[in-house]
Amino acid sequence: MKILFVDDERDVEALFRQKFRKEIKSGELELSFAFSGDEALDLLGTENPPKFVYVFSDINMPGMSGLDLLEKIKGKFPQIKVSMISAYGDTENYNKAINSGAQGFFTKPVDFEKLRNEIKEISRA
Amino acid sequence: MKPERETMSTSELISKITELEGQIVKLTKQTKSDVSKLKTQQNRADEAVNDLKVIQQQLLQQEKLASLGQLTAGIAHEIKNPLNFVNNFSELSMDFIQEIEEELEKLNDSTEKENILELLSDVKSNLHKIKHHGSRADSIVKSMLMHSRGGTGTMDPTNLNDLIREYVNLAFHGMRANKNPINVDIRLDLDESLSKININAEDFSRVILNLSKNAFDAMRDKIAVKGSAYKSILAVRTKDLGDKVLIVVEDNGPGVPDEIRDKLLIPFFTTKKGTEGTGLGLSITHEIIKTHEGSLEIESELDQFTRFKITLPKTTT
């Protein structure tokens, strides 16, 4: 299963690759990383059906915000699941995300067990 | 007919003059009293203007504090992200070392293996320290964020003793990090049999901060007078009273004179000079206690102690 993480902090890649080391090794998961909303849209490309099943995106990013990215992805590929990961767990951001069709909302620091369970459930479905 | 005036006799004239004189004296008195009334009124107006100026200064101070609060929230957020990396990577590395140790166990014993295991155990203990101190920093950042956000108004079961420990400590370190730090002996005597009670932790932590800060300020004044012979002590106690909880915050500072004690809870009342105090700390504290359906009592003896006694019901309606 291909998953895309979008965050302007580059160390997120090392962290997630290490956290999901076993799943990546076993071939269960394939992770890609984008460091801006534009980069994420480039990676998603125009292929239909898309190669990614799930996108996890930060909200506060320079340029395109995670919420804008969410709307763009949902407009183009409604079948891709998108969840937000944000340090700002306020109700305003939460409501905006859910109303725009986000699958879930994770607050930073990320609870990796919760994230792992979410991914497992999607890969089972 | 001759004009009347000319027919006036001398005695009549004298009596007229006396009468007029009397009137002049009366008028002069009246004018004098009017002038003095005007003067007192002017003094009152001057006082009012001065009061307004002070309040204006205090409002400015409030405004500054509010923007400082926003700044703090911004900084706290910016620190939180790198801090998350520190905590996450140290935790992850601890897991990896655990795995390495498990793999190493499969190898035959040798001095090299012994050596590697020893080094790994040191690295693991270092990572524990990084995680531990990272978590400490994280909890400070969290409380900073909590304070800059508005109260949500929800009452949740809270461990009061933990909250007191955390915020007395925070108030102490805040005081130490600011200008004119003082040495204070902090004595906590917390009733550990106390179960969780329903409070708005965010608001109530402000009560503990305010009372601690007040105590530090009062004790600082006493140090300025008494010098190093005086040892300042802040004592905070909790006690389970059955259906209520008693919280006592006591300092051995200069005490509060009787004539001021009743005014302490009035908004904008302050004994601090100029703009040093907003005069709002204790009134906000009182307000928060009232919303918790609790009461605040102040006991004091000059030069001995000031004791704030908060009684909170365990269940609020």
CATH number at residue B286: 3.30.565.10
My answer on whether B51 and B104 are in the same domain is: yes
My answer on whether B145 and B201 are in the same domain is: no
Domain final residue, candidates B84, B117, B149: B149
Residue that the structure tokens 């490309």 belong to? A45
| A89 near B CB under 8 A | no
Predicted confidence (pLDDT) at residue A19 exceeds the cutoff of 90: yes
My answer on whether B302 and B276 are in the same domain is: yes
How far is residue B96's CA from residue B71's CA, in Å, rounded to a whole number?
Answer: 38
**Residue B223 dihedral angles phi and psi, to the nearest 5°:** -60, -40
pLDDT in tens, chain B (317 residues): 555 556 778 888 899 999 999 999 999 999 999 999 999 999 999 999 988 888 887 777 767 666 666 677 778 878 888 999 999 999 999 999 999 999 999 999 999 999 999 999 999 999 999 998 998 788 778 766 765 554 456 788 999 999 999 999 999 998 898 888 999 999 999 999 999 999 988 889 989 999 999 999 999 999 988 888 899 999 999 999 999 999 999 999 999 988 888 778 776 677 776 555 666 678 778 888 888 889 999 999 999 999 999 999 987 65
My answer on whether B45 and B180 are in the same domain is: no
Residue that the structure tokens 């302007």 belong to? A8
Retrieve residue B121's tokens.
Answer: 């155990």
| Nearest-by-CA chain B residue for A86 | B81
Domains and CATH numbers, chain A: 2-124 (3.40.50.2300)
- State how far residue B125 is from chain A, nearest Cα, in angstroms: 20
Instruction: State pLDDT tens for residues B54-88.
Output: 888 777 776 766 666 667 777 887 888 899 999 99
Do residues A57 and B47 touch, judged by C-beta distance below 8 A? Answer: no
| Nearest-by-CA chain A residue for B90 | A15
User: What residue numbers bound the domain in which B215 lies?
Assistant: 158-313
Other beta carbons within 10 Å of B87: 19
How far is residue B200's CA from residue B152's CA, in Å, rounded to a whole number?
Answer: 8
Chain-chain contact of A109 with B89 (C-beta, under 8 angstroms): no
Count the helices and strands in chain B (H runs, E runs).
Answer: 7, 7
My answer on whether B117 and B168 are in the same domain is: no
How far is residue A98's CA from residue B240's CA, in Å, rounded to a whole number?
Answer: 44
Q: Which of B267, B186, B175, B177 is nearest to B217 (CA)?
A: B175
Q: Which residues contact B112 (CB under 8 A, 6 or more apart)?
A: none
Q: What is the ipTM of this complex?
A: 0.80
My answer on whether B107 and B46 are in the same domain is: yes
Q: Classify residue B12: in a domain, yes or no.
A: no
My answer on whether B51 and B187 are in the same domain is: no
Count of the separate structural domains present in chain B:
2
Residue A105 identity: F
My answer on whether B176 and B300 are in the same domain is: yes
**Residue B287 dihedral angles phi and psi, to the nearest 5°:** -60, -45
**Residue B42 dihedral angles phi and psi, to the nearest 5°:** -65, -40
Q: Classify residue B86: in a domain, yes or no.
A: yes
